[in-house]
Chains A and B, each alone.
Chain A
Amino acid sequence: MSTPTLQPRPVPGPVPAWAFPSGTEGQVAGGPGTLRVDLPGRRLAAVRLVLDAGASREPGAKDGVATMTARTLLEGTEPGGGTALTAAFERIGASLYASADLTALRIALDVPVTRLNDALELFAAVLRGPALADSDVRRLVNERLEEIAQEDADPGTRAMRELRAVMFPGEARSSRPTGGTKESIAAIEGADVRAFYASAAPAEATAVVAGDLAGTAADQALAAALEGWTATGEALAAPDTIAPTTGPRIVVVDRPGSVQTYLSIAHGVPNRSHPDWPKLMVASHVLGGGLTSRLNSVLREEKGYTYGVRAGLLRLRHCGLFITQGAVHTEVTADAVADALTELRSVQARGISEEEHGSSVRALADRAPAEYETARAVAAELADASASGLGPEYPRRYLEAVRASTPDGVAKAYTDNIDPEKLTVIAVGDAEQIREPLEKLGYAPVTVTAKD
């Protein structure tokens, strides 16, 4: 093969300026706040409604009722309506989705801008008069029970369940699965779902509409959809705000025959309102944000222990969790944990270099235009900020804070908030093979728990 003629490596110019889109706020009297975001060129409109009715406000012994409420809402406005609601949305090329997490009950509508008004009428009908019928709840309970079994068989999901159970005290709602346990779900009835939905307060909700809305009265249509929608039940309990505890601890979830071990290594951090959050995002990226991060340089690119690990922050409303996770080959489990711990200690040991910091800041801030290219992504981020009480300017301020951070400031935020000697390590894998090697690390006592 003859030699190709190649050009010298180009030197890129400055990255073009970009700011997170802002919107126009509105308020439905006695109802939700609204936000209209005009995004030229986005032909698919997105509506994101967040109700302050997440699992953290569920009544006692009703774990998972928020999730069951979200699911039953999608069954429509008539008992036994079958496919009628889905079909109505499908006919106009729209889709409706609802889910619950600890923070919020979230309802999402996607539709071509040209049919936004029709979709909002259907959306309003669902919000105001969902059937929430006993028969639908009974069926969806069975489906959820099956889903729990599937989740527990998935190593990553199972690791997250255990992580929360171990890190949060038992009385904290955060310690238990968001979508409930087999026992709590089996006990949920139609009346529980109807009571929960009746108590979800529209006055505490926010609705965002985003898309190429030029020339449309999308904000008025949204307000009209929400006007006069009220809560009829008693107020929900105050949300759970119990903080996570620290380790060190290693918990093996036994999954006999597993060819890999799913590792999840975590520490509690403050929530997003804290000025350290953007700095901790940068630190997480330095450690486990990409292929060149400290963790992947060693565990993937040098040693080939894994397809990849990642470090990041889990957003809860009252706190955050710094989590490093990934799957490693069973036989190198303890070596991989040792290497991961070394890297998680490395900020204390050697700080963060100018180059690493610059790279991670650019990775986080300069990818934002691509991350928020769709109306769906913008609307979901703004709705999430609202659900966490951070306001519509938060995504923009967060990106500014990432850019304004310094290597020393990031290293200090990490060492102030994360003690690498007090981590919680969850290992979902074959206990017979991994327990002893993990004990020999001497990092923390090892306990073994059953998969189910």
Chain B
Amino acid sequence: MAEQPLHEHTLGNGLRVVVCEDHVVPLAAVNIWYGVGSRHERASRTGLAHLFEHLMFQGSANVAEGEHAALLESAGATFNASTSFERTNYYETVPVSHLELALWLEADRMGTLPAALTQANLDNQRDVVKNERRQRYDNQPYGTAFERLCALTFPQGHPYAHTPIGSMEDLDATTLEDCTDFFATWYAPGNAVLSIVGDVDAAKTIALVERYFGGLQLGPEQPAARNGDLGPLPGITAEAVDEDVPSPAYFAMFPLPTDGGNDIEAAELAVEILGGGSGSRLYDRMVRREQIATEIWAGVTRLAGGPSLAIVDAVGPDTEKIAAVLDEELARFAADGPDADETARATAQAERGFFEQTETVTGLANALSQNATQFGDPARVFTAPKRAAAVTADEITEMAGRWLAPGARTVLTYGGAK
């Protein structure tokens, strides 16, 4: 969709609302970001934010167990939730006729979740989450790489040192009281942003939000989040993983600037030019020309409360050679910077990425919630292509030198099949 005006409103209880009309399809996307993620968890309760996300589907005061999913499924809705370091996100895209139902469902669980919370539900969803952990991480080759990299990159106890899935021990130890406390601390209208995008009338939609959410209580103020800062790494911290995987592989993590300023725009373009896709420097040298790797991937996770993170991973028989070539390319890039064509290509790709992110009502609603939650400005989403295009080659070079220097990263190596 093309850029549309945004309509913003804040309820008396603190709930921030963003509405964007988009009349292309008869849908409404409803998206809530709660400002709580794994970085807010306390020691020995890792995984609680995500486990709690599961409990939000188990019913509330006026919604029976299983009814949330039943009502949405039978409305032809697509719906889900996700938990990251910094936020928990709930969303459903419904036929526009079902917008009010979706708002009612979200309000009921935002206001009354503990009314339906039982030990049986907690035990069942704990088992489901443990199976999620097994399926997505423990039973996949290289599946725990991200978790291991975070644990190596951040000091012990740092809010980003553990990932949202949490540990089996902490999941086992979580009590019903932990869950009700968690809800009381974090799930308040004032800690949430609600975005609605679709075939709606903005004024009427804001009135509907007032109707369904206006009666929810303000709730306490959230505790201040712990400091998440981390600068460039002083050297290389490496771990050799003793795991039966098909082939040797090399994983590297680099902290990057926090999202929100010009630095991350330049740093992300630097990573793209170095390792994003088959036109990148690392791919061309390692995979195409020298054939020391059969695949290589690089990408950036932007974070707003701590450092953003770049990951580079490569599969190839000799991980020492991969490390040496990576160092050479990082040094060359930091010294010479990108050429004009590389910068132009990365900028054009960033624009297409923006189109892909925002062309569905679901994607745009999520981007609005994100920018409202993290930067207090939902319309910031529309400036993404301009922000990327404004970056100069010198800025890319400078960021590469500061954050992507050779000899400053966290490394995991896998030895291959046993």
**A-B interaction:** yes
Q: A291–B98 Cα gap in the complex (Å)?
A: 19
> Bound complex: CA of A303 vs CA of B131, how far in Å?
12
B108 to chain A: which residues have CB within 8 Å? 6
Question: Which chain B residues numbered 225 to 280 have a C-beta less than 8 Å away from chain A?
Answer: 244-247, 277-279
Closest chain A residue to B58, Cβ basis: A301
Choose among B128, B219, B288, B349 the residue that contacts A304 (Cβ–Cβ < 8 A): B128
Nearest opposing residue in chain A for B345, CB measure: A90
Cβ < 8 Å to B, chain A residues 364-381: 364-371, 373-374
Asked if residues B291 and A139 are in contact (CB atoms below 8 Å), the reply is yes
Q: Which residues from chain A contact B24 at a C-beta distance below 8 Å?
A: 40-42
**By the criterion CB–CB under 8 Å, are B344 and A7 in contact?**
no
Q: Does B107 contact A (CB under 8 A)?
A: yes
- Cross-chain contact of B349 among A90, A152, A302 (Cβ < 8 A): A90
Which residues A238-278 have CB closer than 8 A to chain B? 257-260
What is the interface of chain B mostly: helix, strand, loop, or mixed? Answer: helix
Residues of B within 8 A of A259 (CB): 134, 138-139
Min CB gap A289→B, angstroms: 8
Q: How far is the CA of A142 from the CA of B316 in the complex (A)?
A: 11
Interface membership of B52, Cβ < 8 A: no
- Would you call B61 an interface residue if the criterion is a C-beta within 8 Å of the partner chain's C-beta atoms? yes
Using A90-B345, A150-B141, A369-B27 as known contacts, say yes or no to A7 and B96 having CB atoms under 8 A apart: no
Chain B positions within 8 Å of A291 at CB level = 57, 66, 69, 73
CA distance A146 to B287 in the complex (A): 12
Interface status of A405 (Cβ within 8 A of chain B): no
Q: Take A82-B284, A91-B348, A139-B288 as given contacts and tell me if A155 and B131 are in contact as well, using a CB distance cutoff of 8 Å.
A: no
CB distance from A330 to the nearest CB of B (A): 9
- The answer to whether B288 touches A87 (Cβ under 8 A) is no
Establish whether residues B351 and A93, one from each chain, have CB atoms under 8 Å apart when the complex forms.
yes
- Which residues in B have their C-beta under 8 angstroms from that of A43? 1-2, 355, 359
| Distance between Cα atoms of A2 and B361 in the complex (Å) | 35
- Binding stretch for chain A, among B75-83, B149-157, B330-338, B369-377: B75-83
**Could you tell me which residues of chain A, from 145 to 165, have a CB within 8 Å of some CB in chain B?**
146-147, 149-150, 152-155
Judged by a CB distance under 8 angstroms, whether A306 is at the interface is yes
Judge whether A14 is part of the interface by a CB distance below 8 angstroms: yes
Contact B352 A327 (CB under 8 A): no
Contact with A along B39-75 (1 / 0, CB 8 A): 0000000000000000001000110001001100111
Q: Which of B93, B112, B124, B352 has the most CB of A within 10 A?
A: B352
Contacts of A150 in B (CB 8 A): 141, 246-247, 315
Is A305 engaged at the interface, CB distance under 8 Å to the other chain? yes
Q: Are A327 and B139 in contact (CB under 8 A)?
A: yes
Rounded to whole Å, the gap between the CB of B25 and the closest CB of chain A is 5
Complex: chain B residue closest to A92, CB-CB: B348
Residues of A within 8 A of B291 (CB): 139, 142
Is B205 an interface position by the 8 A CB rule?
no
Tell me which residues from 1 to 49 in chain A have a Cβ below 8 Å from any Cβ of chain B. 1-2, 4-7, 9-10, 12-18, 40-44
Q: Knowing A152-B246, A291-B73, A304-B124 touch, does A91 contact B345 (C-beta < 8 A)?
A: yes
B147 within 8 A of A: no
A359 and B134 in contact (CB under 8 A), knowing A4-B111, A146-B247, A149-B247?
no
In the complex, which residues of chain A have a beta carbon less than 8 angstroms from the beta carbon of B66? 291-292, 297, 301
Chain B contributes a number of interface residues (CB within 8 A of A) equal to 87
- A95 an interface residue at 8 Å Cβ cutoff? yes
Which residues of chain A have C-beta atoms less than 8 A from B132's C-beta? 307
Q: CB < 8 Å: which of B104, B215, B359 contacts A5?
A: B215
Are A373 and B27 in contact, CB atoms less than 8 angstroms apart?
A: yes
Q: Decide yes or no whether B216 CB sits under 8 A from chain A.
A: yes
Quick check: is A334 within 8 A (CB to CB) of the other chain? Answer: no
Contact B97 A370 (CB under 8 A): no
The yes or no answer to A86 lying at the interface (CB within 8 A) is: yes
> How many residues in A have their beta carbons less than 8 Å from beta carbons of B?
80
Q: A87-B341, A139-B288 are in contact. Are A146 and B315 (CB under 8 A)?
A: yes
Q: Is there a chain B Cβ closer than 8 Å to A300's Cβ?
A: yes
Query: Which one of A1, A9, A14, A327 lies within 8 Å of B134 (CB-CB)?
Result: A327
Instruction: With CB as the reference atom, state the residue of chain B lying closest to A366.
Output: B76
Question: Per-residue 0/1 for B74-114: is the Cβ within 8 Å of any A Cβ (1 yes, 0 no)?
Answer: 11111000000000000001011110110010011001100
The yes or no answer to A358 lying at the interface (CB within 8 A) is yes
Return the contact of A290 from the options B69, B214, B279 (Cβ within 8 A): B69
Among B66, B74, B97, B111, residue most surrounded by chain A Cβ atoms (within 10 Å): B74
Q: Which residues of A are found within 8 Å of B288, using beta-carbon distances?
A: 82-83, 139
Task: Tell me, in angstroms, the Cα distance from A90 to B288 when the chains sit together.
Answer: 18
Check A169 for interface membership: any CB of B closer than 8 A.
no
> Which residues of the partner chain B approach A146 to less than 8 Å between Cβ atoms?
246-247, 294-295, 315
Chain A CB within 8 A of B212 CB: yes
Contact with B along A335-372 (1 / 0, CB 8 A): 00000000000000000000000110011111111110
CB of A300 within 8 A of CB of B128, answer: yes
- Contact A257 B244, CB 8 Å, known A43-B359, A365-B76: yes
Contact A373 B25 (CB under 8 A): yes
Closest residue of chain A to B69, judged by CB?
A: A291
Q: CA of A13 to CA of B132 in the docked complex: distance in angstroms?
A: 36
Q: Answer yes or no: B123 CB below 8 A from chain A CBs.
A: yes
In-complex Cβ contact of B289 among A82, A292, A306, A364 (8 A): A82
Kindly identify which residue among B22, B104, B126, B131 contacts A7, using a CB–CB cutoff of 8 Å. B104
Q: Do residues B212 and A1 form an inter-chain contact, with CB atoms below 8 A?
A: no
B284 nearest CB neighbor, chain A only: A83
In angstroms, Cα B77 to Cα A12, docked, is: 13
Chain A minimum-CB-distance residue to B13: A4
Write out the residue numbers on chain A whose beta carbons fall within 8 Å of the beta carbon of B2: 41, 43
Given the complex of chains A and B, what is the CA–CA distance between A292 and B216 in angstroms?
A: 28
* B356 contacts A by Cβ under 8 Å: yes
B58 to chain A, nearest CB (A): 9
Distance, CA A83 to CA B286, complexed state (A): 13
Instruction: For chain B, residues 336 to 395, give those with C-beta under 8 angstroms from any C-beta of chain A.
Output: 341, 344-346, 348-349, 351-352, 355-356, 359-362
Whether B73 and A329, one on each chain, are in contact in the complex, defined by CB atoms closer than 8 angstroms, is no
The 0/1 profile, CB within 8 Å of B marked 1, for residues 313-340 of chain A is 0000000000000011100000000000
Bound-state CA distance A74–B283 (Å) is 14
Asked whether B131 lies within 8 Å of A304 as measured between CB atoms, the reply is yes
* B349, closest chain A residue (CB): A90
Nearest CB on B from A288, distance (A) = 12
CB of B127 within 8 Å of the partner chain:
yes
Contacts A6-B61, A90-B346, A302-B124 known; 10 new A-B pairs at CB < 8 A = A7-B107, A41-B2, A150-B315, A259-B138, A303-B124, A307-B134, A362-B76, A368-B76, A369-B26, A373-B360
Q: 13 interchain pairs (CB within 8 A)?
A: A4-B215, A13-B97, A15-B97, A91-B344, A146-B315, A155-B139, A260-B134, A291-B73, A308-B128, A367-B78, A370-B76, A370-B360, A373-B362
Closest 4 CB pairs of A and B: A366-B76, A304-B127, A5-B215, A359-B74
